[in-house]
Amino acid sequence: MSEETMAIPLPPSGFDLPEDRFIDRELSWLAFNERVLELAEDENLPLLERVNFASIFASNLDEFFMVRVAGLKRRIATGLAVISSSGFSPEEVLSHISRAAHQLQERHAKVFLEKLQPALAEKRIQIVSWDSLDDSEKENLAEYYRKQVFPILTPLAVDPAHPFPYISGLSLNIAVMIKHPTEDGHLFARVKVPPTLDRFVKVTGTKFVALEEIIGEQLGSLFEGMEILQHHNFRVTRNEDLYVDEDEAENLIQALEEELARRKFGPAVRLEVSKTIDPEVLALLKEELGIEDDDDIYHLEGPLDLTGLSTITKINRGDLRYPPHNRITNRYLKPVMENEKSIFQAMRERDILLHHPYESFTKSVQAFIEAAAEDPKVFAIKQTLYRTSGDSPIINALIKAANAGKQVLVLVEVKARFDEENNIAWARILEQAGVHVVYGIVGLKTHCKLAMVIRQEEGRLKRYCHIGTGNYNPTTARFYEDYGLLTSRDAVGEDIAKLFNRLSAYAEDLSFSELLVSPVGVRSGLTKLIEAEAKNAMEGKPSGIQLKLNSLVDEEIIDSLYRASKAGVPIDIVVRGMCALKPGLPGLSETIRVRSILGRYLEHSRVFRFLNNNDPILYIGSADMMHRNLDRRVETLVRLRQADHLREMEELFRLSMSDSSSSWHLAGDGKWLRNAGQSSQGLVDVQEQLMMRTLQSGFSN
């Protein structure tokens, strides 16, 4: 059952909860992306970082339309959509989305044209129009066009012999109206801007012009002998969500590959056009692309597709970036890096809590897998892979281990959204190397981040494990904030071994001592812990709940938090993205505070802390509080036991919730307000503080 069609849980008898107690999740997501846009607007941030946030905003919004808006439209068309938990009908949700998205895209374009472009020019980084170039610059770009662009362009005409061409999703295109010199009427043609070339082309030094402008000025070379009447830029977003019925599929990989081939032909859900587009050209695009609602058309000033600003962010100007952070080797792994002890010895001595990217992923998690691949005492390695990098040292180490005769099992999640093709390719490479590759449990995505190494020691087999909140991806580990635990605790090893058996074969014993595992244990386990805090509060004992998440939209969990708040439990929530809970409302959520922290790193870790009468219980793991994570994914949370780890997490929440820290505060009406106004000036940067504290405890690479 999809998360949208699930029945909204009723409040328990005798407990009055208002029907309008949830913020709409789609509008909450748009509010998150608005916070990203506010970073692009923040003049106290380094300029190229602001440009990067503008690019991220555009990329985020693309995915939102490809998946969330596309899915909502599909459900409305098929009659499957239901009233949302916020009380809006599907049509109302779509209308609210359209209104907010139009405002945000227009604001985004304005930020670029009125703020970022002039600020870049002041720093001698110019994004200019073709008309502003001198003759020599135009000639140089014309030569670049002839050698590097023209050979890969394919103009496609529309006439009785040439049907309207397929327009791929997110491609930037030029609509061209042309006229034969001896015939009446005019013809339409489409030219695709090559996505393989830099979107902004260097003129000289740090002076750039948009690629589509260069092509637009050279259209005569594509339609020789014809008269170019006009040309306009446009861009289409299509439904690129993926659906495979695993119960009906005889071969999951084959079914996925077939669906991936179909995905690029999904219906159009958004049409972006230049504000000056000719009405006749727009009417043609609407008809041929199947755009029926004018609300799906976005008329924008300036260049379309500002994801292309990533070209500008690559400019080597350290003065316009965040000050560099030196990655730290975790202090308990320092002797390992200096060859004074093995990583297995370090893990036997204590649990090691890692915090990326402040602490090096390469010299901790990657080093753990590489050491296991080389160690002759290691007999087996088991690991989950959800997303990984293009040239993955982790996968290379697993292949090396298999070649050395070790038993290697890898669970590859081939349904990881937008990484399906990459993961299918990795699965085949691993299989060819002799790795045992499995794809998890039918109907469930395997989202947990687990690695287990089995090593022969003193006549017995010893398990060493890593449990993380983020993916085994050395590239994203440089800018995703995540926690990971390296442990040799026997109880954790037994739990993970049991879970791997369930994932690779058949096992029905799903009881765990140190883990909470979805789809059967995370919601129920956390609900019990929330209820225990409510009981402590009602009995006058110390109580408190602190959560750090990417998303909080599960109604059952939110209702449990509401009940705990009514019982008097202080509740602090740090959420990066969506939050459907309404904090600070009298009689419902008076004791709940919600903050959001965005910055140079993408906040990605999930942490769950319960005061438990001053004997804290704390879990970290892969699960957000969403239906899909709790009901349709295999997720794991692992309990932290060491006193220093518990203190570290307590300090994390103290810093994150401080009124002196740069953050956004969620109000009961669903509005997010930036602390102390619309800028970061004078506030403590949480990520900067965490980097400083990590520097004090470790050593620089």
Active site residue 447: yes
Closest CA to 619 of 487, 468, 475, 428: 468
DSSP conformational letter for 152:
G
Judge whether 584 and 592 are in contact, CB under 8 Å: yes
Judge whether 592 and 545 are in contact, CB under 8 Å: no
The SS3 of residue 558 is helix
Judge whether 180 and 226 are in contact, CB under 8 Å: yes
Counts of helices then strands in the chain (DSSP H, E): 21, 29
Catalytic residue among 108, 231, 232, 447: 447
Is there a cis peptide before residue 18, judged by omega within 30 degrees of 0? Answer: no
H helix runs in 466-574, sequence order = 490-504, 522-538, 555-566
In sequence order, what DSSP letters do the residues of 143-175 get, joined into one string?
HHIIIIIGGG---EEEBTTBPPPP--TT-EEEE
Q: How far apart are CA 128 and CA 203, in angstroms?
A: 9
Q: Which two tokens stand for residue 334?
A: 């320092």
Residues, the chain, total? Answer: 701
Which contacts qualify for 260-267: CB closer than 8 Å, 24 or more apart? Answer: 260/420, 260/421, 264/168, 264/169, 264/238, 264/240, 265/166, 265/238, 266/70, 266/169, 266/238, 266/239, 266/240, 266/241, 267/70, 267/73, 267/238, 267/239
Closest CA to 446 of 253, 638, 604, 628: 628
Q: How far apart are CA 591 and CA 607, in angstroms?
A: 19
Write down the residue that tokens 């953050």 correspond to: 663
Q: Which two tokens stand for residue 286?
A: 């609407």
For residue 698, count CB atoms less than 10 angstroms from its CB and return exposed for 0-12, middle for 13-18, buried for 19 or more.
buried
**213, 629, 650, 701 from 501: Cα distances, Å:** 57, 20, 34, 38
Closest CA to 611 of 529, 527, 522: 529
End-to-end CA gap in the chain: 48
Closest CA to 559 of 655, 482, 625: 625
- Exposure of 688 in the CB half-sphere (CA atoms within 13 A): 11
Closest CA to 363 of 398, 401, 332, 409: 332
In sequence order, what DSSP letters do the residues of 589-656 get, joined into one string?
TTTEEEEE--SSSEE--EEEEE-TTTS-EEEEES--BSHHHHHSEEEEEEEE--HHHHHHHHHHHHHH
The SS3 of residue 393 is helix
Q: How far apart are CA 38 and CA 235, in angstroms?
A: 25
Pairing assessment for the beta strands 407-412 and 378-385 based on DSSP bridges: parallel
Q: Which two tokens stand for residue 88?
A: 């809006």
Active site residues: 447
